[in-house]
Structure 1
Amino acid sequence: MNNDVSDLYEQDYYLWLQETYQTLEKKEINRLDFPHLMEEILSLGNEQRRKVSSYLRQLLIHLLLYQYWESERRLCGKGWQNEIDNFRFELELLLKSRTLYNYFLQEIEEIYVKARKQAIKKSELPPEIFPERCPFTAENLLDSEFLP
């Protein structure tokens, strides 16, 4: 590992990325900053999972508001539909990865609990209005035609 490249990571991250790319392009493996490169690769994977979780949470919130906040649906329904479409589009891009799709399936119930809390807080509706368990299937969540 070249100490100059390792120091660059702390001093100028963007330049470190450019230098690392050029080093990889030239196949100069002995010049790579392996500890930071491995850290960055793990970080990229974690970021993809965070995006899936975030888009899923937002999708669930908007589906819940759309379905259960009837008094606001006339005013906000179109906006909620647009948000639902946007979150589905973003998820669709991420879920081309089979690994991220499996993560999505595994996280629905856990993320639903958080989305439910946020929907209750936002709507100020009684908590018992919202189901304790996710009322939507994975297919519902990803179906561009589905609205509750």
Structure 2
Amino acid sequence: MTSQISTKNLYESDYVAWLDATLIQLKNHDVQYLDWKNLTEEIEALGREQRHKVESHLLRLLIHLLIYQYWHSEKSWSGNGWEKEIDNFRLELDLLLESKVLANYLTMILEKDYQKARKSAIRKSKLSPDTFPLHCPYTIEQILDPDWLP
């Protein structure tokens, strides 16, 4: 049985070993000696990381949808690459959005991320800000639809 003191030391000296020991403790319902402080922090970090991934993939997807739709002078040169990136971001989001919590999170951050994507598309393309809609012109269904392109 792992003591609380040695588990805390293990967290600081060998993270993977700490994970293994913590998993064994959880499987054995050995909650008395769990390193609660670090376990709580790790679970919180996992949630933040998953939300960050959703936001990152959504942001990059929106940027590519915008430049694909509005940057006409570059589309003949870069359109195929943009399509591949759009597909990749959709695949990544599809995996993450199996979680209803993360799917709801995407809905909550869509407009905020669109504003960031719009600014990025303006900077990247050097097109007039008037080129891009002020609010997200895409539905969530369109954004995630693997067969849809603007």
TM over 0.5, shorter chain = yes
Aligned equivalents of 1:21 and 1:98: distance in 2?
25
Partner residue, 2:7: 5
- Give the length in aligned residue pairs: 148
Aligned residue runs from structure 1 range 53-68, under 5 A: 53-68=55-70
Aligned equivalents of 1:15 and 1:94: distance in 2?
27
Partner residue, 2:86: 84
SS at match of 2:148: coil
Aligned equivalents of 1:85 and 1:47: distance in 2?
22
Matched, 1:97 2:99: yes
Partner residue, 1:144: 146
State the TM-score, normalized to the length of structure 1. 0.95
Deviation at 1:41, TM superposition (A): 0.9
Runs of at least 5 residues in structure 2 that lack an aligned partner in the other structure: none
Aligned equivalents of 1:45 and 1:142: distance in 2?
22
Aligned residue runs from structure 1 range 110-129, under 5 A: 110-129=112-131
Deviation by residue 1:41-86 (Cα, 9 ceiling, x = unmatched): 1111111111110000000000001001000000100010011011
Deviation by residue 1:13-38 (Cα, 9 ceiling, x = unmatched): 12211111122233322121011111
RMSD: 1.2
Partner residue, 2:31: 29
Runs of at least 5 residues in structure 1 that lack an aligned partner in the other structure: none
Deviation at 1:7, TM superposition (A): 2.0
State the TM-score, normalized to the length of structure 2. 0.94
Aligned equivalents of 1:119 and 1:142: distance in 2?
19
